[in-house]
Structure 1
């Protein structure tokens, strides 16, 4: 990984931007400024409802569940530790994903936003904001792309990697709106919160790698 991958100034600016965007989403929710946007997106997505599409969306929401994400996290960690022989990347991946899960659960308890009641195709408990599925999907597939990028040399392979990550995040997030268990603003808030968390942890990871190369930390 190049030492210039994430500069301190860039990381700070990104954290400020993502933090400000998250604060804006929270303010818009609390002041009900975003209600019209939420409802229009929900109507558009749920207007596509068919029996076969419902089955697909249920499958994607299952793929994005905490249990499946934990299994993928363990599998990804094993892949990085034993296949690519990268202990630091394996630890970074594992603890960043665990941090994502802890973070979304904490944020839900802070904001306690009720789930939408417009048209529910699945029954779930807990609070709505931010979307845990969106946060986990964003973190998981961005991390996969970030960590596997340098192990894939071909342009076609890298393009496929990015396309797969975007597709999975979009489909998992859309499934939550389609099934009526999240507002679109829950998805946006979750993605932004994860972007903040990933920027912070990626910067700390790169900083740690730099220190190891300089002999200040023993691997």
Structure 2
């Protein structure tokens, strides 16, 4: 069972890398300019005061402050309540590593933010979206850890739906607010997916090695 999970994590890592590579080539080759413009126009066509407020709230969930607050709460719960030290380390590596990787990638790609119709202010480079990447990593690893401790199907389904929904709306909020291109958001998801899957693969590889050491000969 563990070997099958290792295979799945490795496949997801490779798919994310390939997907990100293709997206990057198409984005910076300007083949997706029309796609970006059309999606931004469509999404911002929903604009209303109530929706703008809602989108800003979801955007805050993926902000540095939002991620730090959620991370501290989850790390405290894992360390002091559940006392799952290995999961504590995995969670920290995924979240902190995602943030560091995103900053490094932005410095490499140097893509400027869209300047069509801003509903919020944002600084720094645009590709890949830090909010989307952090959301994918944070809520992805949280979903993974909660999944491991929930035995009922409905409970697991609920956790998965909530995690996916929050991640998608955070990405959508960045397009709606006019601070990211859709391709930035997709790039953030793929980069976050790569880091999450790679971290899970390493985590499960270590678990497999440890179980092999204690297995009777």
TM range (shorter): over 0.9
Matched position secondary structure for 1:6: helix
Q: Which runs of 5+ in 1 are unaligned?
A: none
Query: CA offset at residue 5 of structure 1?
Result: 5.0
C-alpha separation in 2, matches of 1:213 and 1:12: 19
Query: CA offset at residue 18 of structure 1?
Result: 1.5
TM-score (norm 2): 0.94
- Contact residue 28 and residue 34 of structure 1 kept, 8 A: yes
C-alpha separation in 2, matches of 1:6 and 1:95: 19
Matched, 1:3 2:27: no
Residue equivalent to 1:73: 71
Q: Deviations over 1:87-128 (max 9, x none)?
A: 101111111110000011111110010000110111111000
Residue equivalent to 2:207: 209
Residue equivalent to 1:164: 162
Query: CA offset at residue 11 of structure 1?
Result: 4.0
- Contact residue 23 and residue 183 of structure 2 kept, 8 A: yes
C-alpha separation in 2, matches of 1:170 and 1:14: 18
Query: CA offset at residue 4 of structure 1?
Result: 3.0
Matched position secondary structure for 1:115: coil
- Contact residue 74 and residue 94 of structure 1 kept, 8 A: no
- Contact residue 6 and residue 204 of structure 2 kept, 8 A: no
Matched, 1:95 2:93: yes
- Contact residue 141 and residue 169 of structure 1 kept, 8 A: yes
Matched position secondary structure for 1:4: helix
Q: Please, which moves more after superposition, 201-210 or 175-184?
A: 201-210
C-alpha separation in 2, matches of 1:160 and 1:16: 27
TM-score (norm 1): 0.93
Q: Which runs of 5+ in 2 are unaligned?
A: none
C-alpha separation in 2, matches of 1:116 and 1:87: 42
C-alpha separation in 2, matches of 1:68 and 1:41: 26
C-alpha separation in 2, matches of 1:166 and 1:11: 18
C-alpha separation in 1, matches of 2:180 and 2:22: 18
Matched position secondary structure for 2:71: helix
Q: Count residues with an aligned counterpart.
A: 214
Residue equivalent to 1:116: 114
Residue equivalent to 2:33: 35
Residue equivalent to 1:49: 47
